[in-house]
Chain A
Amino acid sequence: MGSDDWLALKRDEFKRWMEDERRRTGLSRAVAAYTSAKANALSRLPELEEMRREVRKIKERSIRQMDELVKIAMESVREVKGEAYLARDAEEAREIVSELTGSGKLVVKSKSLTGDEVGINEALEERGNRVYETDLGEFIIQLRKEKPTHIINPSIHVPREEVAKTFSELLGRPVGPEITSLVGIARDYLREKFCNADVGITGANVVSAKTGTIFIVENEGNARFVSNAPPKHICLTGIEKIVPNLSDAFKLLQVLPPYATGVFMSAYVSMITGPSKTADIEKTIVYGAHGPKELHLVLLDNGRRRMADDDAFREALYCIRCGGCMYECPVYRVIGGSFGNNYFGGIGLIWSAFTTGEEKVAAAVDACTKCGRCKEVCPLEIDTPRMVERLKQRLVKKGFVQPKHGEIMASINEKGNPFGEDERADRPKG
């Protein structure tokens, strides 16, 4: 093994998280709120037990026929006058989206992990576009030039006083730390951006192949604006999000909100099947009535097919990204957003390894105790600890060995115990 940079950086990051009382407080408040809301929702939705099992089967089936579903979904989107693309990797995705956007444009975005995965904002900004995140949490993170800490609530670690500081800088005038007025500020500031934007970029929670329908689940209403107000809507999402048809998608949609935020249903579910259109004048179809004239679906592979082909990791593709296992993870509760890279927690280690590179999570993998709690709380019962163990095996083969683990290994080999103790030398005494 060469340099230990892979370790040193992560160690520092862990340390910063552990020592940051404010972040820890923010995180533990979020955990408490989440766990009690979820417990309440689950106790009132006993039918979810059956439903989540069905969703598991739907995902198993969908991933088995992923390539086929990609084809069907693309054809369906084109049939309803949208455009569809398949991006093999992050670079291709950046190119496609940049090409569609152009330069000097105003772009509004709703939260998209897939967007973060490929680094879409940076790519668009490089071309001279102005990009605004519109999910409140993402907006805060973007202004603070920080990294998100949770896939559902990216700014859980930023307390209100800090948000007030950030907004004061944005507006050039002092702003108080009352949460309602902070939300109001974001609303006023972004409203104008929604209406004047040239392009809206969203992710998707599910895609129904047969109908070419994109589903976006949210609570703030920003994704609805992003996908509706600008003349061009680009949806960037992973190929694993496709299910065969609408009924499959609806089942998944019922499981997601209670596990994600402890609500029966999210405030908004947008179903988008093709661009906006009207035939109200002489029955002549015109595209771009009140909604966007153009709809582009960019489907991203970027390691997903490799995951699907790999018996050891295929299960990771079943993840519906509820984020529950993160809040429920005893390690995440302590080191939050440093436990992973773009994707967090145990499942995030697998996702990061396949999409952004194994070396980036090599050190974080050793923070997972493989305790199995994530599997226990996962609506799809995804066996994350087993996958993390396998990922660890691969990393060891590539030389990513913790120095201490190396010593333990050598000691077990030579002395039969991990502590480097010479037990046989003790014999005369015993």
Chain B
Amino acid sequence: MGLISMPDSILYWKGCMSRLRTKSIADSTMELFRRMGVEFATLGEEEGCCGSVLLRTGQPEAAKKAAESVIGKISSSGFKEVVTACPGCFRTMSSEYPLIAGQIPFKVRHISQFLIERSSLLKDRFRRMDVKACYHDPCHLGRHMGVYEEPRELIRMVPGVELVEMKDNRSKALCCGSGGGVRSAYPELSREVAKSVIGGELPGGVKLLVTACPFCNYNFKDACSGQIRVMDLPELLISAWRG
């Protein structure tokens, strides 16, 4: 997709994970936009790195460079509104860019915030899905950015989904174990943490784990796919969309 500068349109920022690993999260997100009639564009292969990984692994100078480059790219594309389904990119851009690279001339929001604002477009759009589900609060989205309710409200919009809570949720939610560069340094540890979260936190009968972060999604799938079905928020909404 090319760079189409349109004032009413949003820039969908995929983030490296959805761009290259959990591609179905990016595909579902874009499909959602299309079905909702939301005009959007992406930076395609020009997107690059938001710098989150660099900040977490002790490379502030490189992160600053990444931030400046991203700010430059987005500013010159003319978009005033950026939406992402990656909480790492979301936190880094909206709360850390201003600290390391100065004010940003655009607004950044997580997909759940964006969708809730347009919930009228989602009303009665979903078919029934009879399943007991749990939502996992991503650290970057929850504790670090204070977004707890929007994803839950969206999940509840799907009829038949019985949303129950993990033992520890919202600000007390347990990390999936893959953040902060741990997954690349000690993959086995990340998997063990994910397993212990699933093993100790889910109420009985839960068959679906809804994530709202490509990193959590990837790690839980990798560690626990035998035990539970894992879907990211846009994936859930697309799979429940009435044809």
Contact = CB atoms under 8 A, between A and B. Distances in A.
A376 B56 CA distance: 19
A140 to B, nearest CB: 25
A372 interface: yes
A294 interface: no
Contacts of A426: 45
Contact of A330 (B55, B185, B197): B197
B232 to A, nearest CB: 18
> Chain B contact residues (Cβ within 8 angstroms of A): what range?
35 or more
A373 B144 contact: no
Contacts of A330: 174-175, 177, 193, 196-197
Contact of A402 (B20, B172, B184): B184
B20 A417 contact: yes
A369 B45 contact: no
Contacts of A412: 49, 53-54, 62, 66
Nearest to A363: B185
Contact of B189 (A335, A373, A377, A389): A335
A367 B192 CA distance: 12
A424 B48 CA distance: 11
- What does DSSP make chain A's interface, helix, strand, loop or mixed? helix
B60 A373 contact: no
A350 to B, nearest CB: 14
Most B-side CB within 10 Å, residue of A11, A402, A412, A423: A412
Contacts of B171: 376
Interface residues of A, number: 44
B209 interface: no
B186 A14 contact: yes
A423 B62 contact: no
Contacts of B186: 11, 14, 366-367
A44 interface: no
Contacts of A402: 57, 181, 184-185
A427 B185 contact: no
A18 B184 CA distance: 17
Given A367-B185, A417-B19, A334 B192 contact: yes
Contacts of A417: 16, 19-20, 48-49
Interface of B: 16, 19-21, 44-45, 47-49, 53-60, 62, 66, 139, 143-144, 171-175, 177-182, 184-186, 188-189, 192-193, 196-197, 200
19 contacts: A18-B189, A28-B196, A334-B193, A367-B189, A369-B139, A370-B180, A372-B143, A372-B144, A373-B139, A389-B55, A392-B58, A393-B59, A394-B58, A402-B185, A405-B184, A408-B57, A412-B53, A413-B62, A417-B19
Interface of A: 11, 14-15, 18, 28, 330-331, 333-335, 366-373, 376-377, 389, 392-396, 401-402, 404-405, 408-409, 412-413, 416-419, 421, 423-424, 426-427, 430
Given A28-B200, A408-B57, 19 more contacts: A14-B188, A18-B189, A330-B177, A331-B193, A334-B193, A366-B57, A366-B181, A367-B182, A371-B139, A376-B171, A389-B55, A389-B58, A393-B60, A394-B58, A408-B53, A409-B54, A416-B49, A418-B53, A418-B184
